[in-house]
Structure 1
Amino acid sequence: MPYLVPPLIPPGRLASSAQPLLPVADGLLLRPWQHADAPAVVAAFADPAIQRWHVRRADSEDEARDWIGQWRDAWHNETAAHWAVVRPGAGEDTAADQVLGRISLRSMILGIGHAECAYWTVPAARGQGVAPRATGAVARWAFDAMGFERLELVHSVTNEASCRVALKSGFAPEGTRRHGHLHADGWHDMHVHARLRDDSFPG
């Protein structure tokens, strides 16, 4: 039974190309995760705030390397795209990069050009605009280079910091998803934000 509408983003468009490096203002860079980043992932998921909102912890570097492998595979499977937010070190050795956070496009539906933005930053990088800048860079790439139509951003109604990131990144609030996510302390209602390709970027 054929679809009557062609896919907005043809299958294979991501998998047939290398995941790009995306420059971010203030000298930051979004790059694919490397297995050498495992210690930084373990350290990040030891933070209580990241555990609270992402409902996970990393118990070992081996576990973190497994996650990184899954993040890298997701690009080739065209299900998600995950970048490390880094301040590059000297030279071309990525081991010298300072990992500040993670930005992802997950739950990709290429046929209709939809995906969900997700992110975290390490404690030392918070309050410096890292997450909004990274989110904006990924949104520009998704709309301009890949042809996505809609990006969503969803967070707990009690996560005020994430709400500020969404608004600064130009994701308009659209409503509340009741009991949208199960956290360690029970069900949380979730705020839903979204950006469309035709929306203007914040100045």
Structure 2
Amino acid sequence: MSATGAARAPEPWSGPGVVLRAFEWSDEADLAEAFTDPAVATWNPGPAEGALAFMRERNDWSAGTHASWAVTETAAGPAGSGRLLGSVSLHKIDRDQGDAEVGYWVAPWARGRRLGAAAAAAAAAYGFERLGLHRVYLFHAVENPASCAVARRAGFLLEGTLRQSFRYPDGRHHDEHLHARLVTDR
């Protein structure tokens, strides 16, 4: 742990049905494939410098501003193994305010198994238990009902709609839903 109390490198974490682990070199091909998927690419800016740069950035927690993981299933074997099924991050960690934003995506070969909700809930639990956060929130484009379903399944309550609040990879500002969980919601 660093002086801020945050880990400097990915700390494995798990939740019901998922293991959150560091990105591994063996994930490179799966990452490259996932970022070409229209559902991922539409709502998530892909890594401009490629999969390896993405993994290096996500595995470097030293700034204390994010905690990011590769998502695998617990059924895949011991923690730290298994095919990459998605990604989840706590970012914009604000220790003074006790909050962070969660972001996630699920690879096309893993959809329909509720892994996104399990990963988002596990990341929120990490924020509450390991970082002492009070609130974890997320945004998604209103036109992305799958992400809304993930948020609701993960226990994030809908708080409202923000008008044209974020410019997505298509270059347009989209309306977004704001969802949040409080440490007391568990």
TM-score (norm 2): 0.89
Query: 2:34 matched to 1:44?
Result: yes
- Provide the C-alpha distance between the structure 2 equivalents of 1:72 and 1:167, rounded to a whole number of angstroms: 28
2: CA distance, partners of 1:128 / 1:49: 16
Residue of structure 2 in register with 1:70 after alignment: 57
Kindly indicate whether the alpha-carbon contact (under 8 Å) linking 1:51 and 1:57 is maintained by their aligned counterparts in 2. Answer: no
1:119 aligns with 2:104: yes
SS of the aligned residue for 2:185 comes to: coil
What corresponds to 1:19 in structure 2? 10
Equivalent residue number for residue 166 of structure 1: 151
Moved over 6 A (4+): none
Structure 1's 72 and 92: CA in aligned 2 closer, same or farther, altered over 3 A?
Answer: closer
**1:132 maps to 2:79:** no
Which residue does the alignment assign to 1:4? Answer: none
Does the 8 Å contact 2:59/2:69 carry over to 1? no
The one-letter code of the counterpart of 1:46 is: T
CA distance in 1, matches of 2:155, 2:79: 33
Which residue of the other structure, out of 121, 142, 165, is the alignment partner of 1:180? 165
CA contact (8 A) 2:47 2:53 kept: no
CA distance in 1, matches of 2:161, 2:125: 25
| CA offsets 1:20-48 (integer angstroms, 9 cap, x no match) | 2112323x311011233221110110101
Between the aligned residues of both structures, percent identity stands at 34
Q: 2:21, 2:80 within 8 Å by CA — same for their partners in 1?
A: no
Contact 1:11 1:110 in 2 (8 A): no
Query: 3-state SS of the aligned residue for 2:96?
Result: coil
Which consecutive unaligned segments of at least 5 residues does structure 1 have? 1-9
Contact 2:158 2:179 in 1 (8 A): yes
Counterparts of 1:158 and 1:71 in 2: how far apart (Å)? 27
Structure 2 gap segments, 5+ residues each: none
Counterpart CA distance in 1 for 2:46 and 2:80 is 29
Q: Normalized against structure 1, the TM-score is what?
A: 0.82
Q: Which has the higher contact order (CA 8 A, sep 6+)?
A: 2
Q: Secondary structure at the match of 1:77?
A: coil
**Which sits farther off after the overlay, 79-88 or 166-175?**
79-88
Kept in 2: contact 1:107–1:115 (CA 8 A): yes
3-state SS in 2 of match to 1:198: helix
Q: Distance in 1 between matches of 2:57 and 2:47?
A: 16
Q: Partners in 1 of 2:59 and 2:147 — Cα distance?
A: 25
State the number of aligned residues: 183
Distance 1:11 1:171, change over 3 A: farther
| Separation in 2, partners of 1:48, 1:153 | 21
Structure 2 residue aligned with 1:194, among 161, 167, 180? 180
Secondary structure of 1:99 counterpart? coil
Aligned CA RMSD, in angstroms, stands at 2.2
Aligned counterparts of 2:128 and 2:107: Cα–Cα separation in 1: 27
